[in-house]
Amino acid sequence: MLAGLGRWVARRRVPVLIGWVLLTVVGAAFGGGVFDRAQPVDSLRPGAESTVAQARIDELSPDGEVIVAVLAGRDFNATELVSSASKVMFDIRAIEGVAQVVDSYTTGAHRVSDDNQKSLVTVELKPELSTEEALAAADEVAAALRRIDVPEVLVGGKLLAERAFGEQAVEDAVFGESVALVVLVGLLVVLLGGVVAGSLPLVAALATIAGALLALTGLAGAVPVNEYAVNVVTLLGIGLAVDYSLLVVARFRDERAADPDAPVPELLARTVATAGRAVVVSGLAVGIALAGLFVFADPLLAAMAMGGVLVVGLAVVAGVTLVPALISLAHKRIPQPGTRTWVWRRRGPGVPAGLAAFAQKRPAWVAFGVVVGLLVLSLPVLHVNFADSGARSLPAGSEERRVVEVVEREFGGVDPITLVIESEDTGAGVPALLARLDALDGVFEVEQRADRPPGVTIVDVRLDEHTSSERAQQVVREIRAVDTQVPVLVAGPAAELVDAKDATAAQLPVALLVIVAATALLLFALTRSVVVPVKALVMNVLTLTATLGVMVAIFQWGWGSSVLGFESHGALDLTTPLLLFVFIFGLSMDYEVFLLARIKEEWDRRESDDDGDRAVLAGIVATGPVITAAALAIGVVFLGFALGELVAVKEIGVGMAVAVLLDVTVVRGLLLPAVMALLGRANWWPGTPLTTKRRVPELPAGSRGVA
């Protein structure tokens, strides 16, 4: 079927290209609308305790958005400051949309830092305001606050932080994609030996991204999609489109070198039948890994999963239709492998083949050394700390992030742990519970809200440290563990973080089972071996844990943070390991499929069972350059996003770049050939290793791989 598709595309290249041009133009014209339709997305499933509790609080006593401000740089009691701040606070109360102002000048609240140089102001907006109305009111409040006679006024809060996040996400996407595409142009021209050849993967990537943005725009009308998801999906789309394009172009060059007199439609039929099969299997593996995110029932991850599956599907379709059509049109401008061009000539077998040959000579020592090295890199995972980065994902100098950091450092945070108690019999139970809460370590205030309906009690528990700290999470767990006479629901940021961690831990085994089982079946279908899928899964796990270990060292411990241009807040974002898991797993399977498909071909062509090492080496010689080129290209894409300002996106960019580097050089370059050399014929158990007795002619020297 795939051979017929390749032949059909070659003969119908004009209609195929017109279709892709139309999709690209429409996507470029309307796909950018996804950023206008993007919105904040909850990171918790609807049934989580903190979500249910917050929904009940909002129902009983709807709260509006809160603007948080810090007045800093002058003694709190300075006469000019007292006069200026008091006047502005009354002016703010007169702003339409403001519900309440709490400050240390006009309300009697004492929110002053220990050094008397900072004071805290909170302005609550009316709950009935729309998002646009709330932002307009917030801007008016911020402008009024800046009139206060004080050296520094910092204004933030969740609403303003979400807007800043969205704006920064758009800037990072534009900057990251621009840098990545510019560098990719040069890299692909060098790797493929010419401007025309090098532009083919780039055209496929642009078409895939345009189509993905158009699909995400439509998706945003049905489910919530935020800017972070758009960034991640476009990043994945560029990488996969380039990967698949390189594989197809490289295989076409191999087929043409092996049979120079064959017509182009026939060469493309063979190309799509072989490389196209690897692309489809790889796309299925990546799509299955992304679909595993649905298991977590997380709205944010669900949006990424749907967008990711869409972009993977587009990349696969582009790889088996658009790229062959482009090759059919420009095949004369694609140099032969090893041909001297004005930019490049590859000499010798290349680095992948050299690594593989080295590993096959000393398989036991190489396998042992690589495994130990990867385990050493994994050690920091034992000390990992996950948190909801929120405003901390913003650039270190951003006002919204500075507000969060100053408030947590100087005022212990403004977001309490909130309890909802609903019981007709609260006479003895509630006072006893409040007394127990007040005795918990880290709690400095327990305040019962007034004016609540009969039978309902809402309690705010304030801590002496920030709400995402380990101690705050422990307090949530201790509150939930208290044996009370009344039913209690716990809400607040600390409770949300606890629920997110618990939900992830509970659903992770199910997600792993789904992803591992499905991809193992795919690899079995490709190789007819049980050993190969097991070996691939173990190697993927080693790549993942080593990458996470490096991520802990960089983003949690801050190693190299000055080089990467960020300030560590002592934790990884909670979504980072999940996204890295599916992306690393998917892309590792991507390279595994490319490599194993060719090794299996080489194994099947040989007449003797003793040719296992030669088959592995021949497969690596044929695909190693392709995988190396793909890794370089996708590494450029991820590093382009690592140059952005959002720490959460930077984590994904750096993590994927590290994973690709480890996977292609250490795992596929050394560990895979070493283990396959050790296992020998057992690699293909229980399948029949010699499926083809006919000796297939060897390809001419230098005709394999990519220049």
Q: Please give the structure tokens belonging to residue 687.
A: 């399948």
Q: Under CATH, to which class is 416-491 assigned? A: alpha beta
Domains 66-156 and 416-491 fall in the same CATH topology = yes
Q: Tell me the pLDDT tens digit for each residue of 104-132.
A: 999 878 889 889 999 999 999 999 999 89
Q: Where are the domains of the chain?
A: 2-40+163-379+499-684, 66-156, 416-491
Q: How many CB atoms lie within 10 A of CB 97?
A: 18
DSSP string over 216-247? HHHHHTTS---HHHHHHHHHHHHHHHHHHHHH
**Separation CA 242–CA 205 (nearest Å):** 6
User: CATH: 3.20.190.10, 3.30.70.1320, 3.30.450.90, 3.20.20.10. Which one for 66-156?
Assistant: 3.30.70.1320
Q: What is the CATH number of domain 2-40+163-379+499-684?
A: 1.20.1640.10
Q: Are 685 and 612 in contact (CB under 8 A)?
A: no
Q: Tell me the pLDDT tens digit for each residue of 298-326.
A: 777 777 788 888 889 999 999 999 999 99
Sign of CA dihedral 97, 99, 103, 105: positive
**Separation CA 251–CA 88 (nearest Å):** 70
Of 229, 251, 126, 231, which is closest to residue 174 (Cα–Cα)? 231
Q: Tell me the pLDDT tens digit for each residue of 484-538.
A: 777 889 998 888 889 888 888 888 888 888 888 887 888 888 778 888 888 888 9
Q: Please give the structure tokens belonging to residue 114.
A: 């220990």
Which has more confidence, 158 or 631? 158
Q: Are 683 and 602 in contact (CB under 8 A)?
A: no
**The three-state (H, E, C) secondary structure of 408-453, written as one string:** HHHHCCCCCEEEEEECCCCCCHHHHHHHHHHCCCCEEEEEECCCCC
pTM: 0.80
Indicate whether 547 pLDDT > 90: yes
269-273, 532-536, 549-553, 628-632 — which is least confidently predicted?
A: 628-632
Per-residue b/e over 641-663, b at no fewer than 16 CB within 10 Å? bbbbbbbbbbbbbbbbbbbbbbb
**The three-state (H, E, C) secondary structure of 358-411, written as one string:** HHHHCHHHHHHHHHHHHHHHHHHHHHCCEECCHHHHCCCCCHHHHHHHHHHHHH
Of 106, 110, 124, 112, which is closest to residue 72 (Cα–Cα)? 112
